[in-house]
Structure 1
Amino acid sequence: MDSHAPESSSAAQKITPAQPEWTISTSGQTPELHISGNWTIDEHVPLAFSSDALSANNQAGSLTVDASKLGQWDSSLVSFLWSAKQVAAKKGLSLDISDLPEGVQSLSSLLPETPQAPTPLHDKIHNPFTLSGAFTLSTLNEVGALTLLGLDTAQVSTKALSGHGGMRLRDLLANIFDAGPSALLIVSVVNFLIGAILAFVGAVQLQKFSADIYVANLVGIACVRELSAVMTAIIMAGRTGGAYAARIATMQGNEEIDALQVFGIPISSYILVPAVVSLMVMMPLLYLYGCVMSIFGGYVVSVGMLPDITGAGYMHQTFGAVSMSQFEFGFAKSIVFAIMIGLVSCRIGLKAGRSAADVGTAATSAVVVGIVGVITLDAIFAVIANALGI
């Protein structure tokens, strides 16, 4: 039993991993870099070659690497050799790695000859003219892209009416249900409260002049002409527009848009047209429904708060104050709002990135741009109406 003990200890010494070491020797005029041991990250290998390891008076043109005693290795050896290559280059030497394994030579060939210089930090002076010009060009570019998208959608919509546009009726009906009946509850609540608030504020002020009955005029004209169309459009921008952008951005991330393009399926007829057409169909109807709910909200507050106003008198005053031209004006605005929300939401979804965070960013951008666009278009309509005397 004792005679086998030395053999066991010698076997244990053989399987003990050697520590990574490197030395420099000179054979004649040629310096050699001797590498021995296991060069793995677990062995805490030296990743940098000493800058003073080579003398400056070497006459040879290369630094030869001797890897006869090299054990296991990983990328840490490649990092060390790259560092040695940089030091040798400063001494006028090239690194000869022909004795190394092929894997080390292949990885070393992928590294650059010299390390990349760090990018200098400069204090940027933001020129206001440069910033405003860049913003203007970016805005014009988006307007142009949105216009082309609208023209393409209009062309495909025309073909779809004849049954040759490639739009599936099932997709259109699904979008109509999402944009219409599913939004009735929130449209009802918001418009009812808007009418009630207007009636309450108007009643408090008009009571001072014994003009209680004109609360009906205030609620009717304000809601039919402006508030019902604007509030319904804002609701649709936050609810439906954001959903469109998130859905298309998700399709981008899942590469479904790329798959449709590979199969030759037009994106406009498959995705854009059902979304835009459904909003164009449902937004005017939701506007009319919002007008009814707003007037009803004013009716409830006025009849309940003002003792001199009856229900029949309130409705008679409303019908006399609100003309059909006011409904036509609000109806036209709702259609324009629907087109803008649909195109902007789809455009933002199509240009979104492919990560999960980009889906949320696209939805947020669609909501913000849609709401700002609705307010801006309403201001433009107000100027046009004033110029035309409507």
Structure 2
Amino acid sequence: MTDHEPNSSPADHSSADSPPEWTVKSEANDTTLVVRGRWTIDDGATLSIPAGALTPSHAAAATQTLHVDVSGLGQWDSSLVSFLWTVKQAAAKANMAFDLAQLPDGVQRLFALLPAEPEPPAKHQQRPFAPLQTTGIIALDTLQEVGALTELGAETARGSIKALSGHGGMRLRDLFVNIFDAGPSALLIVSVVNFLIGAILAFVGAVQLRKFSADMYVANLVGIACVRELSAVMTAIIMAGRTGGAYAARIATMLGNEEIDALRVFGIPVSSYILLPSILSLMLMMPLLYLYGCGMSIIGGYVVATGMLPDVTGAGYLNQTLGAIDLHQFEFGFAKSIVFAIMIGLTSCQIGLSAGRSAADVGTAATRAVVVGIVGVIALDAVFAVIANILDI
């Protein structure tokens, strides 16, 4: 609030330049609040009147009026308005009328914007214990999310068919950029994680299998576990945390910047223009990253096994690995990696599209995409394990 100074005579300048102070003067029928000095927050102005300052001892009659004397008032800011507003509340409790006539015009205009009484504190709504209602709400929200995800997948599939026929809205430049982000840019972290996974499996297997003089079967353990399960799952988890979160944050940012709204206004399908390159790049790169992760896991197991087990040679380890892994194991992991890619791409894009428009919502969308992606990968892997058991794969 800009400081103000009322018109005053030269005799009042001494009191107008003094520190802020106030006094209450009681008369037969009226009470006067005298305000003097520079009433600004920098000068230490009081923001509220103490409790009990306007007691019945100052106001004997119920019909008294509280006047305000501002003849000695100097510069003022919003601290004066805050103080006088609390004075008005105290006067109302003391059954006194509050006279605003002598206040400066600026104070009166600000008073007109204030509520008549303070707002009561908000009451927290207590939700009754209703387990059936809560379960129903969760079920309906889950069905709504599944429906939205299914609709988004159908739109993306239709957009991919149009793109193959040359009539889609996808740009090849966007596809190549997403392929680079989802593929070559992720090679380092995929290499490190899968190498360490293979090394850990080989170390644990070597410690246990050495007790039974079955050192050579470390290669079987590392090869089958990584090709069948761990390489696909760990690569998908990496992509869910790295690429899925980036997709959700990017789309949520575009939503907050109203870029998504602009595309819809111009009739450009969002599913083909933005979502299809992201999902298609994951579908193309995830199987390749899975195969690359399998190789890095086997190399990690090779390094640990040949270093820890004196009876295991490099050629023997590779020969044992090739004998333990057949083509069906790669086919199973290859199919899982494609399904993981579709799930991560669709859920991340849907979370980004359903996010809010603030900066905090972008971070929330990215976090939610990572959590949903990781949990979804593990859940789908459990489903694949059941299917493999039924089909005896």
TM range (shorter): 0.7 to 0.9
- Structure 1 partner of 2:376: 373
1:189 is aligned, of 192, 195, 219, to: 192
Residue 223 of structure 1 deviates from its aligned partner by 2.1
- Structure 1 partner of 2:325: 322
Q: Does 1:244 align with 2:244?
A: no
SS of residue matched to 1:100 = coil
SS of residue matched to 2:54 = coil
Contact 1:56/1:91, CA 8 A, preserved across alignment:
no
Q: CA distance change for structure 1 residues 180 and 65 in 2, over 3 Å: closer, same or farther?
A: same
Distance 2:208 2:24 in 1: 96
Once the two structures are superposed, the pairs formed by residues 258-269 of structure 1 within 5 Å of their partners are 266-269=269-272
Residue 288 of structure 1 deviates from its aligned partner by 2.0
Residue 227 of structure 1 deviates from its aligned partner by 1.5
- Structure 1 partner of 2:40: 40
- Structure 1 partner of 2:161: 158
- Structure 2 partner of 1:346: 349
Once the two structures are superposed, the pairs formed by residues 1-390 of structure 1 within 5 Å of their partners are 17-18=17-18, 19-24=20-25, 33=33, 35-49=35-49, 50-52=53-55, 55=59, 57-59=61-63, 63-65=66-68, 67=70, 70-119=73-122, 129=131, 133=135, 139-202=142-205, 205-206=208-209, 214-251=217-254, 266-299=269-302, 305=309, 307=311, 311=315, 318-350=321-353, 351=355, 354-355=358-359, 360-390=363-393
Identity among equivalent positions (%) equals 65
- Residues 32-56 of structure 1 show CA distances to partners (whole Å, capped at 9, x for unaligned) of 5555544323444444442227525
SS of residue matched to 2:187 = helix
Q: Which stretch has the larger CA shift, 367-376 or 143-152? A: 143-152
Distance 2:15 2:88 in 1: 32
Distance 2:259 2:341 in 1: 26
SS of residue matched to 2:61 = coil
Q: CA distance change for structure 1 residues 189 and 90 in 2, over 3 Å: closer, same or farther?
A: closer
Q: Which stretch has the larger CA shift, 276-285 or 205-214? A: 205-214
Amino acid aligned to 2:293 = G
Q: CA distance change for structure 1 residues 172 and 121 in 2, over 3 Å: closer, same or farther?
A: closer
Residue 151 of structure 1 deviates from its aligned partner by 3.6
Contact 2:209/2:215, CA 8 A, preserved across alignment:
yes
Residue 235 of structure 1 deviates from its aligned partner by 1.9
Q: CA distance change for structure 1 residues 15 and 157 in 2, over 3 Å: closer, same or farther?
A: farther
Contact 1:212/1:306, CA 8 A, preserved across alignment:
no
Residue 230 of structure 1 deviates from its aligned partner by 1.0
Amino acid aligned to 2:358 = R
Q: Which stretch has the larger CA shift, 39-48 or 279-288? A: 39-48
Tell me the TM-score normalized by structure 1. Answer: 0.77
SS of residue matched to 2:170 = coil
Residue 287 of structure 1 deviates from its aligned partner by 1.2
Q: CA distance change for structure 1 residues 12 and 205 in 2, over 3 Å: closer, same or farther?
A: closer
Residue 75 of structure 1 deviates from its aligned partner by 1.3
Distance 2:47 2:63 in 1: 27
Q: CA distance change for structure 1 residues 315 and 259 in 2, over 3 Å: closer, same or farther?
A: same
Q: CA distance change for structure 1 residues 199 and 65 in 2, over 3 Å: closer, same or farther?
A: closer
Q: CA distance change for structure 1 residues 342 and 17 in 2, over 3 Å: closer, same or farther?
A: same
- Residues 312-353 of structure 1 show CA distances to partners (whole Å, capped at 9, x for unaligned) of x65565455433332222111101111222233334444266
Distance 1:85 1:16 in 2: 23
Contact 2:215/2:312, CA 8 A, preserved across alignment:
yes
Distance 1:214 1:261 in 2: 58
Contact 2:241/2:370, CA 8 A, preserved across alignment:
yes
Residue 377 of structure 1 deviates from its aligned partner by 1.3
- Residues 36-89 of structure 1 show CA distances to partners (whole Å, capped at 9, x for unaligned) of 5443234444444422275252436x6454555544322122122212322332
Residue 229 of structure 1 deviates from its aligned partner by 0.8
Distance 2:392 2:77 in 1: 81
- Residues 262-315 of structure 1 show CA distances to partners (whole Å, capped at 9, x for unaligned) of 66655434433222211111001111222233344445555674647673x655
SS of residue matched to 1:72 = strand
Amino acid aligned to 2:381 = D
Residue 102 of structure 1 deviates from its aligned partner by 3.1
Contact 2:54/2:94, CA 8 A, preserved across alignment:
no
Residue 160 of structure 1 deviates from its aligned partner by 3.2
Distance 2:42 2:204 in 1: 76
The gaps in structure 2 that reach 5 residues or longer are 1-9
SS of residue matched to 2:116 = coil
Number of positions where the alignment pairs a residue of Structure 1 with one of Structure 2: 376
Contact 1:167/1:269, CA 8 A, preserved across alignment:
yes
Distance 1:15 1:189 in 2: 76
